[in-house]
Chain A
Amino acid sequence: MVKITIDGKQYEVENNLTIIQAARESKIHIPHFCWHPKLTVSGNCRVCLVEVEKMPKLVIACSTQVADGMIVHTNSEKVIKAQNAVLEFILINHPLDCPICDEAGECKLQDYAYKYSVGESRFEFDKVRKPKRVELGPNVMLDTERCIMCSRCIRFCDEIAKKPQLTFTQRGDHVELTTFPGECLDNPYSMNVIDLCPVGALTSRDFRFKARVWEMSSTDTICVGCSRGCNIKMWVRNNEILRLTPRMNPQVNDYWMCDYGRLNTFKHVNAANRIKAPMIRKEGKLVEVGWDEAIAKVSSELKAYKKPEIAAIGSAFSSNEDNYLFVKLMGILGVKKLDIMPHIKTGDQDELLIREDKTPNMVGTREVGVKPDSNEFGFSSIMNDIRHGKVRALYVLDDDIAADPNIAEALIKIDFLVVHASNENETVKLADVVLASSSYAEKHGTFTNFQGKVQRNRPAVATLDHDRILDGMELSRLDKFGSHNDRWTQGIKRDTRATWRIVNMLATAIGIRWRYNTCEEVFNEIAAAIPAFKGLSYLKIGTNGALLNLKKKSVTVKD
């Protein structure tokens, strides 16, 4: 430990820190472009210059180690003058195209130009022109003019993604970011460079020009692309998800998320094939009906079959609460054939984030009780029983089990198939009753990732059930001030309900008196009933999750 003085206040910090790290721990902000806590120090932007007494010149805070008795000034006259100069220098060739730049509003250069620069340039000559609209890879667009040569993206590819694909060429004001010959920026984590880029040089091709950042609301939630459960922010405008960005959680995903999760886990929420309301098969066709009718149909049909003739498939895509209530209901109905379908993509795993298990909640689903008592009730034996006509009614939670053609073939033999689904899929095509369930972006819930970390997802998209203001959902400025006459408040709202709520309605129809009004109440019951969840609550889970109390290693998943 060393004692240092920053801006007249004494702090005691670890002795292997740099000044910028020490300042950060003491909640003092030193401006920086190229420095990032998870990347190596390159020290090329020069905006973090600070004055250290007894040193002849200003030093960069990002690469100067603290020493005992060091006296640092972060806002002395000399430092402010240096910051002005650095920003003026960086802005010499930076185009003033903020109006068309997607980064505007969350741009470090914009913020620092407001905060630390004098606001005027003495440079009167033409700016250096470089290529715009360079397709650096399948997901990333480069605007070479806007680049300030911080090299964060290069270091990310080298150090975090471990795929050296980017580099600088040329010198002086001709420096250009480019890919190595024959390469393109196509590593599975390439889009993190968009978040890393302090300016708008690297932008998302998917999100390009879709919205300004200040028009959207952002909700803290989690990604459901695999069993990692990366913490994310979900950006919504007019009830439509426009992009996902990673949210820092040091125990799960650091600052990163994979491109697959970023691009493929939200588009189904606004897809055209969404199921808008519950449906019943009438004369061979699925017809939209009201909730009461659909629930009544399921409850009367389930009563008509003997207990061994009914099987239930839970879902590792659904939350702990959904599966818990499902198991509880099936237990009351006496259904013993209960399992989940695993979704494991063998080999699709790496050391950074991506996991083989493509379901977000396998551990949690097993923990809340979706597991067969013995092997004869397992998933494959349920399918065998269906093929042999022993099982005649099947209840499937949010999972497209019929995507596997072998299973689809077996399902044809089922007399009565109930499916919870958010989108049209193969299982829905075979179903007799479809209960329109909310997607993960439209409900509260908790998911347990492969580490046993219970994390919350929150509703970002409103269904007919929701009222953004009354339900405490995140609001954009337009959400706050819009009236029902305004077109930008008229995004599609669907008549879908969270799976746990549907199960609750079904239980009521069957004659069981449950009183769950919110998802939190279901979770509190889980916490009381299941040892692994003991002591957990929504408050404790918070924004960064909480670990299950697992004695042994979590349940291994196999089939």
Chain B
Amino acid sequence: MEKQKPIIHRKDLRWYEQFYIPQIIAGMKITLTQVFRPKFTRQYPEVKWQPPPSFRGRPVLVEQNGVERCVACGLCSRVCPALAIEVQASETELSKERYPVKFEINMLRCIFCSFCEEVCPEEAIVMSQDFELTFTRQEDGIFGKDKLLTPLDKLKDRLEFLRKMR
């Protein structure tokens, strides 16, 4: 059986609805008031945005007194839902006994969930405010210790935020 097409009844516009000039004036009024309001666009990338401490940028390792806080316990690697983190431990002479000889985060896998930060028993891995991640080759997406180590001073805001939220 052939399907019947639904019949659409269009209402005719009333006489006052046919005048469109008042509507144009109302629209222009909004536009013109916006012109004189303060701007909130930013000239990125010339002008950078400073995210708040609650922002979850790429995860980094906290560097304190020249060494990472990390003891390579592997909990971040275990909890990571995207399996982005790879840790290889080794022994160090320092009192912490253990340190990561290799610590790699595959930024192609990372989903910025901050589970690693939450699980870390040493406050050694935190989400930074860095959100600019560009690379042109897959291999460059694997961040080693050289890219991950960040001095404690730069991460104070985030660490403070974490303590407050605990």
Contact = CB atoms under 8 A, between A and B. Distances in A.
The answer to whether A and B come from one shared complex is yes
A210 B83 contact: no
A136 B147 CA distance: 39
B155 interface: no
Interface stretch (A25-33, A48-56, A484-492): A484-492
A481 interface: yes
A36 interface: no
Nearest to B87: A212
A324 to B, nearest CB: 42
13 contacts: A99-B73, A99-B75, A99-B121, A100-B97, A100-B98, A132-B97, A209-B89, A210-B89, A211-B89, A212-B73, A478-B83, A481-B83, A488-B86
B91 A209 contact: yes
B96 interface: yes
Contacts of B71: 99-100
Contacts of A211: 89
A212 B74 contact: yes
A215 interface: yes
Contacts of B64: none
B104 A209 contact: no
Contact of A485 (B74, B89, B104, B138): B138
A260 interface: no
B72 A209 contact: yes
Interface in B25-69: none
Given A209-B89, A486-B106, A215 B72 contact: no
Contact of A215 (B74, B97, B98, B108): B74
B83 A486 contact: yes
Given A99-B98, A214-B78, A481-B83, 20 more contacts: A99-B71, A99-B73, A99-B75, A99-B121, A99-B122, A100-B72, A104-B73, A133-B97, A209-B89, A209-B91, A210-B89, A212-B73, A212-B78, A215-B74, A478-B83, A485-B108, A486-B83, A487-B104, A487-B142, A488-B86
Interface in B113-131: 121-122
A81 to B, nearest CB: 29
Interface of A: 98-100, 104, 132-133, 208-212, 214-215, 478, 481-482, 485-488
Contacts of A486: 83, 106
Contacts of A133: 97
Nearest to B120: A99
Contact of A100 (B73, B104, B106, B138): B73
B106 A209 contact: no
A210 to B, nearest CB: 7
Contacts, number: 43
Contacts of B106: 486
A100 B96 contact: yes
Given A99-B71, A99-B73, A104-B73, A209 B83 contact: no
Contacts of B83: 478, 481-482, 486
Nearest to B78: A214
A15 B125 CA distance: 57
A202 B77 CA distance: 25
Contacts of A215: 74, 77-78
A387 to B, nearest CB: 51
A-B residue pairs, 6 tightest by C-beta: A99-B73, A100-B98, A209-B89, A212-B74, A99-B121, A100-B71
Contacts of A481: 83
A208 B97 CA distance: 11
Contacts of A100: 71-73, 96-98
Contacts of B89: 209-211
Nearest to B86: A488
B127 to A, nearest CB: 20
Q: Which of B71, B72, B74, B142 has the most CB of A within 10 A?
A: B74
Contacts of B138: 485
Given A214-B78, A486-B106, A209 B98 contact: yes
Nearest to A487: B86
Nearest to B124: A99
Tell me which of B73, B106, B138 has the highest count of chain A C-beta atoms within 10 A of its own C-beta: B73
Nearest to B75: A99
Contacts of B142: 487
Contacts of B78: 212, 214-215
A481 B83 CA distance: 8
Nearest to A143: B97
Nearest to A485: B138
Contacts of B104: 487
A206 B50 CA distance: 48
Nearest to A488: B86
A483 to B, nearest CB: 9
Contact of B90 (A98, A132, A209): A209
Could you say which of B104, B121, B138 has the most chain A C-beta atoms within 10 Å of its C-beta?
Answer: B121
Nearest to B106: A486
B91 A208 contact: yes
A488 B75 CA distance: 16
A100 B142 CA distance: 25
Contacts of B73: 98-100, 104, 212
A405 B104 CA distance: 48
A104 B97 CA distance: 15
Contacts of B122: 99
